[in-house]
Structure 1
Amino acid sequence: MQLGDFSAHVVVDGKELEEYDVVIDSSTKATCYIASEQGKTFSVKWQCHAEIRLTDNSGKVMVDGISCGAYMMRSGSLGDEDTRVLSHIGETKARDLMFSRLQLSDDDDLLDKEVPKDLGDISLNIKRGELVKSRRRNRKTESCAPDENLKFHEKSKKATVHCVSFGPERVLRQQTTPSKFRVRVVPNDDPLLVFVFKYRPLGILQANGIAPKPVSVSSGSRHNVNLDECEIEIQDGSYIEDIKPVELDGRIETLENELKRLRSLQAGASQDRKPKRVKKEEPGLEKRLRFTPGEVIDLT
C-alpha cells in the first residue's frame, strides 16, 4: 500500500504478502487484508520514496493493539537510509513477530471478556517532524510483550482465528548500560499516516470473497492438461518431522470441523433422495383388457 511518498508492506519469507481489498480511506489512511499462516514469522517494512526527505519521521508498529516499538528515519535523499524493517521486539534480547492460532475456550467465565477491537490488525503509524534528544525521565524499559495466556470464549472469536505471538527469545547483542537520553520525533503540521493490515487465514478470505479462490480443473477440460509441464512435489519421510506440533493441531481441528460439516450435508442429502414408491398394477387388470379375435365388443 502507498500513501503519498510512503509505502508499507508485510513481509514473509523475504516476499511481500499480496494485499487484498485495498481501501484508501483518505490521503492519510490505507487498509487492506493479508493472508496469515500459522507458525510463520513476519516483518513490517516501510519506505519513503521522496527524492529529498525534508523532514525526519518515525514509524510505530502495533500488533493486535500492542506497541512493538518505533524506528526513526532522518531527513535525506532517496536511497540513503530510506527503508525501515521491524521484525521483532527487544533491543538486546529479541523475539520475532509470528502468526499464531488464537486460543479459544468454552469456559463460560470468559463470556464477558472483551475482545480487543484491534485483534487481527497490524498497523503502522508514521509521524513526521523533527528528531530531538531529551533526557530520559524513567530508565525502566516498558514491556510490550503480549499476554502469553491470552484466551477468549469460542463464541467471541468474530471470524478471527489467528493472533500475533512472539517467538522464542534470542540474544541480539550484549547488555549495555541504558542511555540517559532518548530520541523522539516532535510532530509538525503534517498529518499522521496510518497503514492497517487485517490478517486472516487465506481460507477465510476466500470464503468471504476477499481473496480469489484457487482455479479448479473441470472434468471436461482435463484432457487439455499437459502432464509433462506439471510440477509435482514429492516429500520424503522427514516431511512430517518438519511440521510443528501446533501446526498439526490446527490442521487436525480444521479437517475435523470440515468433516462434520460434510457429513451433515450428506445426511441432509440422503433424506432428500429416499426412493419413491411405485404403484403396481393389479395382476388381473391386463387380463381383463384382452379380447379374443372375432369377439364383438359392444361400445353402445
Structure 2
Amino acid sequence: MRLDELHAWISVDGVELPEFAVEYSADGKEASCWIPSECDKQFAVEFKNTRSSSWQTNAEITVDGIQCGSNNTYCRDHRHPQITSGSRNSVAISAHSRRPLLFAQQALTDDDNLLNAAISPELGSIKVQMRKVISVPSRRRQPVWPGDSFESKVLHERSKKAMGHSVQFGAAYPAINSQADPIEVIAELATFVFKYRPIELLRAQGIAPPEIRPAAAPIEVVDLTVDDDDASEIKQLEARLPVLKKKGVKVKSKSSGVKQEKSFVFAPGEIIDLT
C-alpha cells in the first residue's frame, strides 16, 4: 500500500503478498487491506520512503496488538539516495537471540475459563506506523529486553476471533542485538493496517477473487452423420466387393522340396499373360 511517498507491504519468501480491498481514510493518513496468510510461513514487514528529507523516518510494528519494536529507514542503494527503506522479520528477546515472525494455526481450547477472556481488537492484523523522528543520544539507557512477552494467545474455540491463523513467534535463534539510539517522535506520518486471513476464507467472503483453475482440454467432436455423397460411395463399394473377391488368388503350399500345386481363379473374359 502507498500513501504519498510512503510505502509498506508484507512479504513471504521475498515476494510481496497480494493486497485485497484496499481502503483509505478521509484524511489520507491511513490505509488498510486484506492479505492472504499461509500456515507456518515466515514473513517480513517492509517499508519505504521514496522522497529524501532532512529528517529520519521510523516505522513501529505491531502484530495482533503486540508491539514488536521499530526500525529506522536507511538508504540501501547509493544509486538512489532519495529512497530509504527498512524491514522487520523477527523480534529481539535478549541481547543474543531473536524469534522470527510467522503465520501459524490459531491455538484453540475448550476451557470455558477462557470463553470470556479479553482479546485485543487488533488480533488478526499487522500495523505499521510511519513516523518522523530524531535521534536523542543523550537519552541512552540500558536496553530492556521483553523476554517471554512474545507468546501466542490461546483462544476459546467458540471465540468470534478464532479465524484460523494468528501471528506467532518461531524458535529462538542466536543473533547480536545492539540497542539503537533513543528517538523522539516529531510527527505521525501514516498508518498501514494489514488484516490477514487464510486465502480460502478471503475467497469465501468475496474479498479475494476465486481461484483460477486451468482450462480443460477441448473435446474433439467427430461428425458421424452420413450425407448423400457418402451413401452413394458406400453403394458403389458394396457393388464392387463381390468382383474383387472373385479376383482373389488361392495358393496351396507343401513342405520344402515337394512340388507345389497352385490354383487360380479368373474372372470370365480375363486374359492372363503366361510368357
| Shared fold, TM over 0.5 | yes
User: What TM-score, normalized by structure 2, do the two folds share?
Assistant: 0.70
Moved more, 115-124 or 158-167: 158-167
Question: 1:93/1:23 Cα in 2 relative to 1: closer, same or farther (>3 Å)?
Answer: same
Task: After TM superposition, give the deviation of residue 136 of structure 1 in Å.
Answer: 3.5
Q: Tell me what 1:222 maps to.
A: 216
Where structure 2 has 5 or more consecutive residues not aligned to the other structure, the ranges are 221-275
Give the direction of change, closer, same or farther, for the CA distance of 1:84–1:121 in structure 2 (3 Å limit). same
- Correspondence for 1:186: 184
Structure-1 residue corresponding to 2:163: 160
Task: Summarize the Cα distance change of 1:122–1:59 in structure 2 as closer, same or farther, 3 Å threshold.
Answer: same
In structure 2, what is the Cα distance between the partners aligned to 1:222 and 1:57?
51
1:286 is matched with none
Tell me how far 1:168 sits from its aligned partner.
1.1
One of 77, 98, 103 as aligned partner of 1:99: 103
After superposition, what is the alpha-carbon deviation per residue over 1:204-232, rounded to whole angstroms, capped at 9, x for unaligned? 00000000011346xxx734389xxxxxx
The answer on whether the counterparts of 1:10 and 1:43 sit within 8 Å (CA) in structure 2 is: yes
Q: Shift of residue 66 of structure 1?
A: 0.7
Q: CA RMSD in A?
A: 2.6
1:16-67 CA-partner distances (Å, limit 9, x unpaired)? 00000000113110100000000000001111111x2221121111110111
- Does structure 2 retain, via aligned residues, the 8 Å contact 1:64–1:163? yes
Larger C-alpha radius of gyration, 1 or 2? Answer: 2
Judge conservation of contact 1:43–1:85 (CA < 8 Å) in 2. yes
Name the CA distance, whole Å, in 1 between partners of 2:161 and 2:185. Answer: 36
Pairwise CA distance, 1:161 = 1.4
Higher helix proportion (structure 1 or 2) = 1
Q: Is the 8 A contact 1:68 1:144 kept in 2?
A: no
Aligned partner of 1:85: which letter? S
Greater alpha carbon shift after TM alignment, 135-144 vs 80-89: 135-144
Matched, 1:64 2:61: no
Give the Cα separation in 2 of the matches to 1:78 and 1:28. 29
> How is 1:212-251 mapped onto 2 (pairs within 5 angstroms)?
212-216=209-213, 222-224=216-218
- The one of 140, 145, 168 equivalent to 1:141 is 145
Q: 1:277 matched to which residue of 2?
A: none
The match for 1:32 is 33
- Structure 1 residue 142 displacement after superposition: 3.4
Retained in 1: the 8 A contact 2:74–2:85?
no
Partner of 2:46, secondary structure, is strand
Say if 1:57 and 1:131, in contact at 8 Å, map to a contact too. no
> In structure 1, which of residues 181, 195, 198 is the aligned counterpart of residue 195 of structure 2?
198
Count residues with an aligned counterpart.
Answer: 215
Aligned partner letter, 1:19: E
Letter in 1 for 2:33: C
User: What is the distance in 2 between the residues matched to 1:78 and 1:129?
Assistant: 24
Task: Decide whether aligned partners of structure 1 residues 47 and 144 sit closer, same or farther in structure 2, where only a CA change above 3 A counts.
Answer: farther
Alpha carbons of structure 1 residues 202 and 9: separation in structure 2 relative to 1, 3 Å: same
Change (3 A) 1:84 1:75: closer
Partner residue, 1:172: 175
1:211 to 208, 211, 219: 208
Q: 1:183 to 1:137 in 2, by over 3 A?
A: closer
After TM superposition, give the deviation of residue 171 of structure 1 in Å. 0.9
- Report the residue type matching 1:170 in the other structure: Y
Matched, 1:85 2:90: no
Q: Which region of structure 1 is more displaced relative to structure 2, 164-173 or 6-15?
A: 164-173
| 1:224 aligned partner, one-letter code | P
